Amino acid sequence: MKKTFKIISIFIILTIIFCLNTISKAEDIEKPNTTKNLFSTTKADLPVENGVDGDAFILCSKKVTINSEITGNLFVIAQNVEITDDAIIDGSVFLLADNFTFSGKVVKNIFALSNNTTINETANIGLDLFLTSGSEVSIPENVVNGQTHISTPSTEQEKIEQKEKESSSFLDWVSSTVGYVLFALVVFLIIKYKFPTYIKNNEIFSKNIFKCLLYGILCLIIIPALSIILLLLGVTSKIGIILIALYTILLFICPALMLITITCVYANNAKETPKFSKEKLQISLLILFTIVYQLLKLIPVFGPAFAFVMAVFGLGTLAKSIMLIDVKKEN
């Protein structure tokens, strides 16, 4: 859009300059024969067949056809503009038209704003093409020697949609991360004050990593299998439904539980300072680890696999903790 406004601004300025020149000459030249700088306003079709030694300023309500050499720049505003394969523009082209057909040669740049644009294979642009078109444009290969800057309704819409999608995705991630951080903190506080032994006993995971993984895999298989058996028996179907519901909730909670476990492993081994208590350290680490976890989940393939492994480890750690509690009660 900025390029479009720039092009329109250029044409407005050029139109003012052109009008001042035509007024100062006090005449309307429709078909000039001069080879000097060309200043022309006309309501009829205008073929530029004679070479122009200098710049050409053209304002036409119908069709302008350029089929000769212009040693300077071409400034043209018209309903239809055609630059034929016989045309050579030694400078740049500044163009505003409803329909633009280009087959000739431009030594420098083309700045064009048109509704319909056709660029043929015989065309050649020495430097860059800056084009804003109301319809799709096909540019043949080796026509533009510099850079091509094309803006069409579809590309502009695609850019807008892409920006909206990126913005929406980022906001979704932020809201999801904030929500999961708050959820992890709530689970942490519940465990801290209701099950304080879990927080204090950081050896559950650090000294039983492989056992936690094994227990997690076993729980992942046994609980669904047991639920299906209970459902099939009929009499115990309600228990099976409850077990499936608890299993689903556990799978959701277990990644947070694993993050809390890792937090405790690090925090419990850290030295407590007067300014930074262990509880503050635990909360800070939990927030940090949760954000990192959410970021890692964004990685294709690895992210979902990582989240699954975290859930399995969390499930295994929970199972191991329950087993240790039962052992302590028996003793």
Q: pLDDT-derived band of residue 279, with 50, 70 and 90 as boundaries?
A: confident
Q: pLDDT-derived band of residue 277, with 50, 70 and 90 as boundaries?
A: confident
Q: What was the pLDDT predicted at 234? A: 73
Give yes or no for residue 207 having a pLDDT over 80.
no
| Average pLDDT score over the chain | 79
Pick the more confident residue, 60 or 158. Answer: 60
Q: pLDDT-derived band of residue 83, with 50, 70 and 90 as boundaries?
A: very high
Give yes or no for residue 141 having a pLDDT over 80.
yes
Q: What is the mean pLDDT of residues 288-308?
A: 89
Residue 58 near residue 78, CB atoms below 8 Å: yes
One-character DSSP codes across 91-151:
S-EEEEEEEEEE-SEESS-EEEEEEEEEE-TT-EESS-EEEEESS-----TTSBSS-EEEE
Q: What was the pLDDT predicted at 63? A: 92
Q: What was the pLDDT predicted at 5? A: 44
Query: Helices H, strands E: what count in the chain?
Result: 8, 13
Domain ranges of the chain: 2-151, 164-330
* Spatial CA neighbour of 31 closest among 23, 22, 40: 40
Q: What was the pLDDT predicted at 154? A: 57
Residue 4 near residue 111, CB atoms below 8 Å: no
What percentage of residues in the chain have a pLDDT greater than 70?
A: 78
Residue 61 near residue 42, CB atoms below 8 Å: yes
What CA dihedral angle connects 95, 100, 106 and 112, to 10 degrees? 40
Q: What was the pLDDT predicted at 275? A: 67
Q: What was the pLDDT predicted at 17? A: 46
Q: Per-residue b/e over 179-192, b at no fewer than 16 CB within 10 Å?
A: ebbeebbebbeebb
The residues with which 93 forms a beta bridge, in sequence order, are 74, 110
Q: How far is CA 323 from the centre of its chain?
A: 48
Q: What was the pLDDT predicted at 18? A: 47
Cα–Cα distances in angstroms (integers) from residue 225 to residues 100, 211, 229, 232, 319, in the given order:
71, 21, 6, 11, 17
Q: pLDDT-derived band of residue 324, with 50, 70 and 90 as boundaries?
A: low
Give yes or no for residue 318 having a pLDDT over 90.
no
* Spatial CA neighbour of 114 closest among 133, 136, 93, 128: 133
Q: What is the mean pLDDT of residues 126-139?
A: 83
Give the count of beta carbons closer than 10 Å to the beta carbon of residue 151. Answer: 19
Please name the residues in contact with 204: beta carbons below 8 A apart, sequence gap of 6 or more. Answer: 198, 212, 261, 317, 320, 321, 324
Cα–Cα distances in angstroms (integers) from residue 223 to residues 58, 204, 231, 238, in the given order:
82, 22, 12, 15
Residue 121 near residue 104, CB atoms below 8 Å: no
Q: pLDDT-derived band of residue 36, with 50, 70 and 90 as boundaries?
A: confident
